[in-house]
Amino acid sequence: MNDSPGWATPGSSPSDGERPGTESGAQQPAPPTPPADDPKWSAEQPPPGQWSSPGTTPPEAPQAQPQPTTGWGQQPGTPQTGQYGPQSGYPGGPGQWGQPAAAKPGVIPLRPLGLGEILDGAVATMRTHWRAVLPITLVVATVVQVISVIVQKFMLDDLAFATDPNAGPEEIFDSLGSTFAASAVVQLIQILGTIVVTAMLTMVFSRAVLGQQSSVSDAWREARPQLLRLIGLTLLLALGAILLGAVLILPGVLTESVGLAVLGFAVWLPILVWLGIKFTLASPALMLEKSTVLKAFARSSKLVKDTWWRIFGITLLTTVIAFFISGMIVAPFQIISLFAFSGGLDAMAEGSGMTSWGALIAPAIGLIIAQTIVMPFQSGVTVLLYVDQRIRREGLDLELARAAGLENYGTTGG
């Protein structure tokens, strides 16, 4: 097994084997033969191994009992280093079986995950592997915002010229055209930056699941072969959304029918959300399974099937959390920009003061900080959702356990 998971469809689980230090059907040593003249021993004794004195612990451990197969559990009472926390005996009291803890070599336990475990796993990766996560997001966010500030500087200058009452129709048209072009450039840079971050962070999170450290160079080396395909996947999703909107909304716009345009939008939005969730796992499938774009779409559709609402809820909650975190970080910088560099509310109402470098740089600093925190959180939740779905449907926990070096994980004693 490689030091990092191949994330291909796992094969059959390893056959059940013997637990180290345990032999199937081994008989327990018989108790010592009592002296013939000892009055405390009766002439007839129960069969060995079937009794113990009340209130005392028998000198020899009882014979190992077969454990019900859990798929990702281990026999109770036989913890192994690196798989379980401190536990011994029989959980739940004498004669009772308790659910053993799942192995946790990295940031998540190797079993189906709950909402809290997915969110906690994303945060734990950011905290534990910050040396790899922080430089990736910080550098990309800084590059994106620097380019955006430069583009917006000229874009806002054009807007100020367009609002000049002495400007003619041709000048206004040219100004608005350059504004849309500049906005498109900013969005394109933002998308490309997000793609790079997503690709590299996916590799960091895949190693964090196994408890393995990552570096920026490792993440780049593993993500680079799939970057062009990830760009194609992202652009294909964006193109599909635009074409779908054009088919549903454009007829109303061309016929100048507001009702038809609104109806088209009302149909387009839920379809867009449905398709977005259906293909939300395509990116990690593409990166971790080294597949093609079309196969990644098919894999995401298969993994999301019958769990659309659950994934929608987790994704929506993640988006809301990210929105509030970004808002709390960016808001103070926007206030500083407004009153320190833009001349206050009156200047903003007049449309002046927003073209200064200070008014553009202050919010950009806030956005850099916000994106450095939010991007890995959202990427981490998506990757862990992918892992969770594969554990639930394909037994990926066994594959991950073997990749983490837990050779006997999921086997039972004979």
Pseudo-torsion of CA 353, 358, 359, 364, nearest 10°?
A: 160
* pLDDT digit string, tens, across residues 195-251: 999 999 999 999 999 999 989 999 999 999 999 999 999 999 999 999 999 999 988
Residue 354 lies in a domain: yes
Whether the predicted pLDDT of 128 surpasses 60:
yes
| Residue 62, φ and ψ in degrees, nearest 5 | -65, 160
Long-range contacts of 145-152 (CB under 8 A, 24+ apart): 145/364, 145/365, 145/367, 145/368, 145/371, 146/364, 147/186, 147/189, 148/186, 148/189, 148/190, 148/364, 149/357, 149/360, 149/361, 149/364, 151/182, 151/185, 151/186, 152/182, 152/186, 152/360
What interhelical angle do 216-223 and 169-209 show, nearest 10?
110
Residues 314, 115 contacting (CB under 8 angstroms): yes
What pLDDT does 342 receive? 64
Ranking 126-140, 169-183, 227-241, 379-393 by mean pLDDT, the lowest is 169-183
What interhelical angle do 169-209 and 130-162 show, nearest 10?
170
Q: What tokens does 266 get?
A: 């009302």
Q: How confident is the model at residue 412 (pLDDT cuts 50, 70, 90)?
A: low
What interhelical angle do 282-289 and 227-254 show, nearest 10?
160
Residue 87 lies in a domain: no
What pLDDT does 225 receive? 93
Residue 200 lies in a domain: yes
CA distance 125 to 414: 38
Q: How confident is the model at residue 274 (pLDDT cuts 50, 70, 90)?
A: very high
Residue 126 lies in a domain: yes
Residue 110 lies in a domain: no
| Structure-model confidence comparison of residues 269 and 155, the more confident one | 269
Residues 409, 402 contacting (CB under 8 angstroms): yes
Among 22-36, 236-250, 347-361, top mean pLDDT goes to 236-250
Burial of 91 per CB tally in 10 Å (0-12, 13-18, 19+) = middle
Average pLDDT over residues 116-121: 95
Q: What tokens does 264 get?
A: 């088209």
| Structure-model confidence comparison of residues 118 and 175, the more confident one | 118
Among 90-99, 157-166, 250-259, 326-335, top mean pLDDT goes to 326-335
Q: How confident is the model at residue 148 (pLDDT cuts 50, 70, 90)?
A: confident
What pLDDT does 325 receive? 95
What pLDDT does 385 receive? 96
Whether the predicted pLDDT of 36 surpasses 60:
no
Residue 73 lies in a domain: no
Residues 282, 297 contacting (CB under 8 angstroms): yes
Cα 192 to Cα 127, 195, 312, 367: the distances in Å are 25, 5, 25, 16
Could you give the residue ranges of the DSSP H alpha helices within 76-226? 115-128, 130-162, 169-209, 216-223
Residues 207, 121 contacting (CB under 8 angstroms): no
- Range of 341's domain? 115-399
Rounded to the nearest integer, the mean pLDDT of the chain is: 75
Q: What tokens does 149 get?
A: 């500030």
CA distance 263 to 381: 34
Ranking 21-30, 182-191, 198-207, 223-232 by mean pLDDT, the lowest is 21-30
Residue 319 lies in a domain: yes
* pLDDT digit string, tens, across residues 72-107: 333 333 333 333 333 333 333 343 444 456 788 999
pTM above 0.75, yes or no: no
Our count of domains for the chain comes to 1
Residue 402's nearest CA partner among 2, 76, 106, 101 is: 2
- For the chain, percent of residues with pLDDT exceeding 70: 64
Residue 12 lies in a domain: no
| Structure-model confidence comparison of residues 157 and 133, the more confident one | 133
